Amino acid sequence: MKAVYIYANPSKNAKIEPYVEVISERCNDLGWESPTVFADGFPSVKQGGIDELMKKVENDVVDGVMLFSLEAWAHERHKFVPVVGKMLQKVNVLVVACAPTLGQLKGMKDLAKLEGLFLSGEYFSNLNSVAVKVGMSKSTKKKGRPSLMDTDREFVRQVAVLYNQNLSTKGIAQRLGASYHKVYRALKHLQKDGGESEA
């Protein structure tokens, strides 16, 4: 079984939908179908959290784990190594949804790579992007986030060209030196407007 763990600071009163959007895209990239979701910190979600996930990990029920982020351990780093270290010992692969370029971690030898995420600019940029979406989901204003077509038309055009060359979202992000989520937003805009074929 593949498992996903999503954490949000309980004081944020966050909705889970913006998190699930990122998780879904990452699962598609990895070919993970119907993973079991575990979540903590969402007032409206009553799913099992980290304790329930760890029971299944320790019982060898889980062969792959996706952490949405490392936010659960941001202020208590001493708890990070034992929890994630146990996961790395028991599962075949561990990935972090907010760090797509990190790739897949296999075993304790990769724990240092994962710890490096706490200092990764790309990781925090992706996490902040989700935080913006979470804030917007609670906003009472009708106007949403400005379209990339309004703010960076040339970037959207470049994304369209590379998309038409059959590059993946991750590949386009790497080619343009942009964040995964910025490329994802551009592709969503193109799909909505049927603009892929225009470039």
Q: How far apart are CA 84 and CA 54, in angstroms?
A: 10
- Do residues 105 and 160 share a domain? no
Question: 97 is in which domain, residue-wise?
Answer: 2-121
- Do residues 150 and 116 share a domain? no
- Do residues 68 and 101 share a domain? yes
Query: 138 lies in a domain?
Result: no
Residue 89 to residues 28, 48, 56, 92, 106: CA-CA distances in angstroms?
25, 22, 13, 8, 9
Q: Kindly report, residue by residue over 135-169, the tens digit of the pLDDT.
A: 655 555 555 556 666 667 888 888 989 988 888 88
At residue 149, the pLDDT reads 63
Q: What is the DSSP string of 82-149?
A: HHHHHHHHHSSEEEETT-GGG--B-SGGGHHHHHGGGG-HHHHHHHHHHHHHHHHHH---S--SPPHH
- Do residues 116 and 155 share a domain? no
At residue 139, the pLDDT reads 53
As given in the structure block, the two tokens for residue 101 are 């370029």
- Residue range 64-70: average pLDDT? 88
Task: Count the domains in the chain.
Answer: 2
Helix axes 180-193, 153-163, angle to 10 degrees: 80
- Do residues 58 and 116 share a domain? yes
- Do residues 65 and 162 share a domain? no
- Do residues 164 and 70 share a domain? no
- Tell me which of 86, 121, 156 is where a domain ends: 121
126 HSE (CA, 13 A, CB side): 30
Q: Kindly report, residue by residue over 24-59, the tens digit of the pLDDT.
A: 888 888 888 889 999 998 887 777 899 999 999 999
Provide the CATH number for the domain around residue 55.
Answer: 3.40.50.1390
At residue 79, the pLDDT reads 81
- Do residues 75 and 171 share a domain? no
- Residue range 114-120: average pLDDT? 72
- Do residues 12 and 102 share a domain? yes
- Do residues 39 and 95 share a domain? yes
Query: 130 lies in a domain?
Result: no
At residue 123, the pLDDT reads 67
- pTM, 2 dp: 0.62
At residue 196, the pLDDT reads 43
